Chain A
Amino acid sequence: MERVLRGVGLAALAVMLVDAWRGAPAALPARTVAPGALAGVLATWPLGPETLTVVTDTALDGVTSAWLAARRDAGAPSRWGNRATPASAVALEPTLDPGGGVRALVAAPRGAVVQLGDSVGAIDSATVHRGGVVFTVASPVGRATARVNGSPARSHPPAVARPRAVIVLARAGWEAKFVTAALEERGWPVEVRLVVRPDTSVVQGSPARLDTSRVAVVVALDASAAPQAAALGAFVRSGGGLVLGPDAAMNAAFANLRAGATGPRQAPLSIAVAARDPRRALPLVPIVTLEPGAVALERRDATIAVAARRVSAGRVVQVGYDDSWRWRMTGPDGAREAHRRWWAALVASASPERLAQATFGGPAAVSTADAPLARMVADLGAPDPTLLSRSGGASPDPGPLGWWWGVLALAALLAEWASRRLRGVP
């Protein structure tokens, strides 16, 4: 029995040796080339019966992928593997801000370092924590490139935005004046109706025409907009945006639209406007209880200062801060720009996404995401996983049968050794 077991083990090892000797491929020519030179090498590589194996440590550009796809389509066997290109993608979309700018949305593995640049140079970098990172870029020049661990994904910026109007409804006063100024300076076309006395208003544009086809957002700062509450409700439900100032939110006419109930007005927490936290110097009408589905967008300490909710197809943003013009006028250097940005962001956040898509010229305006690894898979098919751990050449994989020969040899020799030990033979 022991002789049989030994024979089986040795026979299995012999079979594996023969297989290894027979399966070893002939030494194939192998070259290491720079990524940019690979297309040139492929152009002169013979269309022989031998399988062409390409192992890359960076994303292939479109020309190189096209060469490999052409060889495959011409019947020349080939396979490819990739060792270093992370699964990443970059897409650019316009910000909802006529002041310009795009958002670069980069998908990348957790922990990857993303470097964003454009045709001029580097713009910013960030480390990915949750599957991606978003950059806001004021005015990228040419094509934007996101390098994820050195591997580039590129995308062209979207078309220039053409925002629709913002309507400001308020009593004549400094807050209305400077909110309007901030939005106009940011590039929004603003129409206003500022009530000077009950029968007289200063009007700019056509603020009575509440139509989502031409108006993106209405800013109702105070109770002077209450007579239009019903019309504003219809405007929001049909897809418009509404920003409610504190005095408007306190008015019962807007109870069905506001993001939350208001509490007693709070005094400013600081006298001077500070650059770090300027809104502490503003009076606040806190939002004490949120409506179902509403979310807090900004808090001052534990108090909700800005909140938003969806109302049918539209969106309402409720602002608790009052007299924000004091921030712009009395704040430190840069206060005017900061006040402008903050109000532009509020208006943009009230503008529903689908309106923004239409505003900015339709789906074609949003560039298609560039995903290098996904594009290579689409062009070349799935990579060969056996190439992942090696730099190229033939596969060492013995195949499933080879593994069984090994198991058989090991089992037979162990059994023979155990039998001998049980008998007391060394």
Chain B
Amino acid sequence: MSAFTFCTVQYESGDWDSAPQVPANLIDSVARYTAIEVTPTGAIVALSSTDLLRYPLAYLTGHLPVRFSTAERDMLRTYLQRGGLLFVDDHNHDVDGVFSKSALEELARVTGAPLKSIPKTHELYRCFFNFPDGPPTTGHELNGWGDNLVHAELLASLRGDRISVLFSNKDYSSEWGYHPDNKRFQSVDNTRFGVNLVVYALTR
């Protein structure tokens, strides 16, 4: 059995590498909370590369506008058709911001339809840790920028009854991208939702 490897997607536009600490922190949480065999270091794969198919869960983030190339769109479409799950997190946590707007447009072009919100009762929120109120809020949403702008739901594109694209405006990239020298934003480890994401991807 091959071990789980966390994969960060590199795309041509924008700033794909804006949250370099996320992979290490999530890998640590998966190893800490579960018995899932996990590769100690993550992988970085170009969205247009066939290597992407070796990682059925991939993470994409950024602050800047996102425009996929034709090769990137084609590969992402193949990836999703074969059962891959792409997690996209808006590193800005804003509403209708440049990353959010452009990424959602690009994802809709690939999936063929706009992403839709998933209910707070979705399996994603209870497959390992239980999140009865849906996606956990982040420090940035509550007071990091002083705006208390909370995004109540995540968006998703489904293939059948399983998520193939998950989109977050909650800025988990900041929440999970803490430096080990710093304490976390919240007293309760917020990477636990990241563990749920990995468990969901591995079991659904």
Interface residues of B, dominant DSSP:
loop
Asked if residues B202 and A174 are in contact (CB atoms below 8 Å), the reply is: yes
Asked if residues B82 and A177 are in contact (CB atoms below 8 Å), the reply is: no
Closest residue of chain B to A200, judged by CB?
A: B128
A-B contact pairs, 16 of them (CB 8 A): A172-B202, A174-B2, A174-B56, A174-B202, A175-B2, A177-B201, A177-B204, A192-B203, A194-B203, A195-B35, A196-B36, A202-B128, A247-B1, A325-B56, A329-B83, A335-B82
Quote the shortest CB–CB distance from A30 to chain B (angstroms): 68
Asked if residues B35 and A177 are in contact (CB atoms below 8 Å), the reply is: no
Which residues of chain B from 47 to 93 have any CB-CB distance to chain A below 8 Å in the complex?
50, 53-54, 56, 81-84
Q: Which of B36, B37, B201 has the most CB of A within 10 A?
A: B36
Quote the shortest CB–CB distance from A330 to chain B (angstroms): 5
Q: Take A174-B2, A177-B204, A222-B1 as given contacts and tell me if A328 and B83 are in contact as well, using a CB distance cutoff of 8 Å.
A: yes
A interface bracket (residues with beta carbon within 8 Å of B):
20 to 34
Asked if residues A329 and B54 are in contact (CB atoms below 8 Å), the reply is: yes
Asked if residues B35 and A196 are in contact (CB atoms below 8 Å), the reply is: yes
Asked if residues B54 and A171 are in contact (CB atoms below 8 Å), the reply is: no
Q: Does B150 make an interface contact (CB < 8 A)?
A: no
Q: Which of B37, B50, B203 has the most CB of A within 10 A?
A: B203
Q: Does A198 make an interface contact (CB < 8 A)?
A: yes
Give Cα A196–Cα B35 distance, bound, in whole angstroms. Answer: 6
The 10 closest A-B pairs by CB, nearest first: A197-B35, A202-B203, A172-B202, A330-B53, A329-B53, A194-B203, A197-B34, A196-B34, A172-B203, A329-B82
Binding site for B on A (CB under 8 A): 171-178, 181, 192, 194-198, 200, 202, 221-222, 247, 322-323, 325-326, 328-330, 335-336
Quote the shortest CB–CB distance from A176 to chain B (angstroms): 7
Instruction: Give me 7 other A-B pairs in contact (C-beta within 8 A), A173-B202, A330-B54 excluded.
Output: A172-B202, A172-B203, A202-B127, A202-B128, A329-B54, A335-B82, A336-B81
Closest residue of chain A to B35, judged by CB?
A: A197
Give Cα A178–Cα B85 distance, bound, in whole angstroms. Answer: 12
Q: Which of A173, A177, A196, A222 has the most CB of B within 10 A?
A: A196
Contact with A along B151-177 (1 / 0, CB 8 A): 000000000000000000000000000
Asked if residues A178 and B1 are in contact (CB atoms below 8 Å), the reply is: no
